[in-house]
Amino acid sequence: MKLLFRLFIVLVLVGGIALLAGEKPAVAGPQEGMDSSAQAVPPNGVALHKDDPGSVKPPPPFILVCKDGVKSVGGVATLEVKNLADGYCIMATLRNPAFALGHFPKDIGKPLAHFTILRVFYHGRLVNDLPTEEGQVSLCYAVPPQKTGQIYFHDFYGPRFGRHGRNDWVPLDTTVNNGIACAAAQDTGAYGLFGK
């Protein structure tokens, strides 16, 4: 009985593979009548027969950092992590500023890029912040030409940690060098680049 059951499973798998192959034979070399140079795609070339022929893929809009390094968050922001202690991980995702968080102060301008939602985890548990003695995190944005930029923080995770403060964006100490705005990002919450 076990042998029949195993034989049945093998037949189902082989049939499924045949259906997926679409009755096309699998060959290792060029097919008869086809020029082999037409089939080859150089290792760094673009495969034009695919739906998305782009050769450079954008960075993912979600990252998880559990060791030192510099990572791009969706090509919008850069996260630099230094001296990260064991057990800590930083998760960063992007959020469209059209879905506003809190109240924007009138004099800060408008969002110049997607917000970065930063979450600090310690041994898999979401925590309020990363103490500076356990690691340092810096978040950077490129400031658009002809604009001024300032990074702000919104503590929308505050109620989760027992803080019921204001629902406003708070300016962070931001350095701007060669069009790149950077600020320390030690807390779980939202970060955004604002300017005029």
42 band by pLDDT with thresholds 50, 70 and 90: very low
pLDDT tens digit sequence for 81-114: 999 999 999 999 999 887 766 677 778 889 999 9
Residue 37 lies in a domain: no
Residue 40 lies in a domain: no
User: Which H/E stretch holds residue 5?
Assistant: helix 2-21
Residue 24 lies in a domain: no
Query: In this predicted structure, what is the pLDDT of residue 27?
Result: 43
Query: In this predicted structure, what is the pLDDT of residue 56?
Result: 72
Q: What is the CATH number of the domain that holds 131?
A: 2.60.220
Number of domains in the chain: 1
pLDDT tens digit sequence for 46-81: 444 555 556 777 777 789 999 999 999 988 999 999
Residue 42 lies in a domain: no
Residue 35 lies in a domain: no
In order of 67, 91, 174, 190, the CA distances from 135 in angstroms are 10, 14, 19, 19
pTM of the model: 0.69
Residue 20 lies in a domain: no
Q: Which domain holds residue 70?
A: 62-195
